[in-house]
């Protein structure tokens, strides 16, 4: 009745869905008919604002129409304001209106910590009277911008970095020769990250190293220990605790039992681990709580794998049974010749055992009960839209099923796919981030992130090709 939509807006509005109605206070005046009309108008306003990407708003203006514009000015939403409404600053100040004039329409919007608050008051239609009859407040929660977040102090921060794959060898290429790999300069990029973390205003509580810390080529050069020492020395240039995740390149260099006794077993080097439950002696999975109400779970994505298992072992045989159902290639690193998700059945991937999945399920149940926020990390991504399918964990679907059955999970972080990726799971709102790999990052760029954690969100400040993101908690 009071709205006017352009054709262009109709299309855009369908695509935009980043704001949510938090609350709406009903009219408090005595005039029933005005209340009804006000509510009708507010409903129309809401219906349209609801779909408007207020995160991108640069202009919100009331004149005779409410005009919302985004940064480029290309997406506009017009809503005709009935002339017997005035929009006030919400302070209850009474204003004098000229008869039938639109001069009384004032700017009403204000940003309050990521919320667009719109007060709409209904005035009597009679000329020259002071009134504040009824009002309604529409509060919209918007996606916070980096600027919003910069003004607040986080509860804590942490660093993330993935696929450093250091080796003291000349630059090379990935298998398909489509991406250059900078084996030596990955160390300098780690140094850049360390410097940035140590200079940040709020020092990180810990660093998440998402796996593939050194490259498999070290093994052929008999340089695994040396390369690992070199990288760990770089990490120890600051006193911040590092949580190491294991990737395929860890197993190219070391056996599982060697890893369990090494500096890459973070459970041996921190008191933070919540060790009352661990999935099993040979499974490298644990959880820790760096701040009350927040839990981080480190997963072992090569628990079911041909990597790191003795060929004579039961685990190797059962992993072979899994991969052979889909991959008939002689070279099991070569993906099955198919499109889609089955490409993941290669030797450089792996999966999670039932034991580990059951353990994760119980950790998450306990976190649900305590209303904690849980971030899960693994070398392999588990959401098909957060990565190239060739990098997915074998039984990503089982893990995703567990995540989806718990309310506590807010974020899943992985490495492995050097191009990175991100998706917000549409069923749960859980954020799935795949971090760009250092090894395929130009020497004059960077690939790491600093995550600031707040009550209602995590904010990733990316460096170089890692972009900024805001993860609102589901
Ligand atoms: N399409 C492929 N066919 C055969 N072998 C492959 C293929 N892709 C990767 N590999 C081999 O698999 C191993 C792991 O690949 P790599 O690219 O180093 O993994 P990451 O992405 O973890 O760095 C390497 O030995 C590589 O040569």
Please tell me if the CB atom of residue 84 comes closer than 6 angstroms to any atom of ligand 1: no
Please tell me if the CB atom of residue 248 comes closer than 6 angstroms to any atom of ligand 1: yes
| Residue of 378, 339, 381 lying closest to 360 (CA atoms) | 378
First to last CA, the chain: 34
d(CA 467, CA 170): 28
239 contacts 197 by C-beta, under 8 angstroms: no
Looking at the structure, do residues 76 and 178 belong to the same domain, yes or no? no
Residue nearest to atom 25 of ligand 1 (CA): 333
Helix H, strand E, coil C: the string for 175-229 is CCCCCEECCCHHHHHHHHHHHHHHHCCCCCCEEEECCCCECCHHHHCCCHHHHHH
Looking at the structure, do residues 84 and 125 belong to the same domain, yes or no? yes
What is the reported pLDDT for 26?
A: 32
Residue nearest to atom 1 of ligand 1 (CA): 334
Looking at the structure, do residues 162 and 76 belong to the same domain, yes or no? no
List b or e across 352-390, with b for residues whose CB sees 16 or more CB atoms inside 10 angstroms. Answer: bbeebbebbeebbebbeeeebbbbbbbbbbbbbebbbbb
Distance 445 CA to ligand 1 centre (A): 24
| Residue of 388, 382, 307, 379 lying closest to 347 (CA atoms) | 307
What is the number of alpha carbons within 13 Å of residue 86 lying toward its C-beta? 27
Distance 175 CA to ligand 1 centre (A): 6
d(CA 362, CA 358): 6
| Residue of 68, 83, 70, 75 lying closest to 138 (CA atoms) | 68
Looking at the structure, do residues 404 and 422 belong to the same domain, yes or no? yes
What is the number of alpha carbons within 13 Å of residue 448 lying toward its C-beta? 22
* Collapsed DSSP state (helix, strand, coil) of residue 49: helix
Residue partners of 133: CB distance under 8 A and separation at least 6: 29, 30, 31, 34, 121, 122, 123, 124
Please tell me if the CB atom of residue 91 comes closer than 6 angstroms to any atom of ligand 1: no
CATH of the domain at 369: 3.60.21.10
Looking at the structure, do residues 298 and 315 belong to the same domain, yes or no? yes
Looking at the structure, do residues 69 and 43 belong to the same domain, yes or no? yes
What is the reported pLDDT for 24?
A: 30
Distance 346 CA to ligand 1 centre (A): 9
Pairing of strands 206-209, 241-244: parallel
Please tell me if the CB atom of residue 337 comes closer than 6 angstroms to any atom of ligand 1: no
Residue 240, domain extent? 149-472
Query: Pick from 94, 111, 143: which residue ends a domain?
Result: 143
What is the reported pLDDT for 5?
A: 30
d(CA 6, CA 212): 52
**Centroid of chain to Cα 274:** 24
Q: Do the interacting molecules here have an ipTM over 0.95?
A: yes
What is the reported pLDDT for 46?
A: 54
Residue nearest to atom 8 of ligand 1 (CA): 175
Looking at the structure, do residues 29 and 159 belong to the same domain, yes or no? no
- Residue 417 Cα: closest atom of ligand 1: 21
Looking at the structure, do residues 108 and 185 belong to the same domain, yes or no? no
Torsion-angle region of 224 (φ positive above 0: left; ψ -120 to 50: alpha; else: beta): alpha
C-alpha to C-alpha distances, 379 to 177, 298, 348, nearest whole angstrom: 22, 9, 11
Distance 87 CA to ligand 1 centre (A): 62
C-alpha to C-alpha distances, 77 to 6, 11, 17, 217, nearest whole angstrom: 8, 11, 14, 56
| Residue of 75, 60, 80 lying closest to 14 (CA atoms) | 75
C-alpha to C-alpha distances, 466 to 42, 48, 81, 187, 445, nearest whole angstrom: 40, 33, 43, 17, 10
Query: Pick from 126, 143, 160: which residue ends a domain?
Result: 143
- Residue 418 Cα: closest atom of ligand 1: 21
Query: Pick from 124, 143, 162: which residue ends a domain?
Result: 143
- Residue 439 Cα: closest atom of ligand 1: 23
Please tell me if the CB atom of residue 174 comes closer than 6 angstroms to any atom of ligand 1: yes
Give every residue of the chain whose pLDDT is below 70, as ranges.
1-151, 273-277
What is the reported pLDDT for 339?
A: 80
In DSSP terms, 141 is beta-bridged to 20, 115
d(CA 397, CA 376): 15
26 contacts 133 by C-beta, under 8 angstroms: no
Question: How many domains does the chain fold into?
Answer: 2
Looking at the structure, do residues 310 and 409 belong to the same domain, yes or no? yes
Looking at the structure, do residues 240 and 297 belong to the same domain, yes or no? yes
Looking at the structure, do residues 126 and 201 belong to the same domain, yes or no? no
Distance 210 CA to ligand 1 centre (A): 18
DSSP tag of 52 = S
Pairing of strands 65-70, 172-173: unpaired
* Collapsed DSSP state (helix, strand, coil) of residue 389: helix
Looking at the structure, do residues 199 and 84 belong to the same domain, yes or no? no
Sign of CA dihedral 62, 64, 68, 71: negative
223-238: per-residue pLDDT in tens?
A: 999 999 999 999 999 9
C-alpha to C-alpha distances, 216 to 249, 387, 469, nearest whole angstrom: 5, 22, 31
């Amino acid at each position: 009745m009071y709205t006017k939509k352009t054709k262009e807006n109709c299309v855009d509005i369908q695509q935009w869905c980043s704001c949510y109605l938090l609350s709406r206070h009903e009219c408090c005046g005595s005039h029933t008919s005005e209340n009804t009309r006000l509510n009708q108008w507010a409903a129309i306003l809401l219906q349209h604002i609801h779909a408007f990407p207020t995160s991108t708003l640069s202009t919100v203006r009331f004149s005779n129409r409410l005009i919302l514009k985004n940064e480029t000015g290309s997406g506009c939403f017009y809503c005709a304001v009935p002339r017997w409404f005035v929009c006030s600053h919400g302070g209850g100040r009474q204003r004098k209106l000229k008869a039938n004039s639109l001069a009384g329409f004032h700017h009403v919007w204000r940003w309050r910590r990521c919320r667009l608050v719109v007060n709409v008051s209904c005035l009597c239609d009679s000329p020259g009277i002071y009134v504040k009859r009824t009002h309604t407040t529409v509060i919209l929660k918007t996606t916070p911008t980096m600027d919003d977040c910069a003004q607040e102090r986080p509860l804590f921060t942490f660093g993330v970095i993935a696929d450093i794959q250091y080796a003291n060898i000349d630059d090379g290429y990935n298998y398909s020769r489509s991406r250059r790999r900078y084996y030596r300069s990955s160390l300098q990029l780690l140094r850049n990250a360390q410097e940035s973390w140590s200079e940040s205003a709020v020092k990180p509580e810990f660093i998440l190293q998402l796996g593939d810390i050194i490259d498999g080529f070290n093994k052929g050069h008999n340089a695994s220990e040396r390369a690992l020492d070199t990288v760990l020395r770089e990490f120890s240039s600051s006193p911040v605790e590092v949580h190491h995740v294991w990737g395929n390149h860890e197993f190219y260099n070391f056996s599982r039992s060697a890893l369990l006794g090494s500096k890459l077993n973070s459970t041996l080097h921190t008191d933070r681990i919540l060790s009352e439950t661990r999935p099993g002696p040979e499974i490298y999975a644990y959880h820790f709580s760096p701040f009350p109400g927040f839990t981080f779970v480190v997963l072992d994505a090569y628990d079911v794998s041909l990597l790191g298992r003795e060929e004579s072992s039961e685990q190797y045989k059962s992993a072979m049974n899994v991969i052979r159902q889909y991959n008939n290639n002689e070279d099991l690193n070569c993906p099955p010749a198919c499109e889609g998700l089955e490409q993941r059945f290669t030797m450089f991937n792996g999966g999670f055992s039932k034991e580990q999945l059951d353990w994760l399920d119980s950790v998450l149940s306990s976190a649900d009960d305590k209303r904690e926020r849980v971030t899960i990390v693994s070398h392999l991504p588990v959401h098909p839209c957060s990565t190239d399918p060739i990098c997915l964990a074998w039984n990503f679907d089982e893990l995703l099923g567990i995540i989806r059955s718990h309310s506590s999970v807010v974020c899943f972080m992985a490495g492995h796919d050097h191009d990175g990726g991100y998706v917000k799971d549409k069923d749960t709102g859980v954020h799935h981030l795949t971090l760009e790999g250092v090894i395929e990052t130009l020497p004059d760029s960077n690939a790491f992130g600093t995550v600031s954690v707040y009550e209602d969100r995590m904010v990733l400040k990316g460096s170089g090709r890692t972009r900024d993101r805001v993860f609102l908690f589901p």
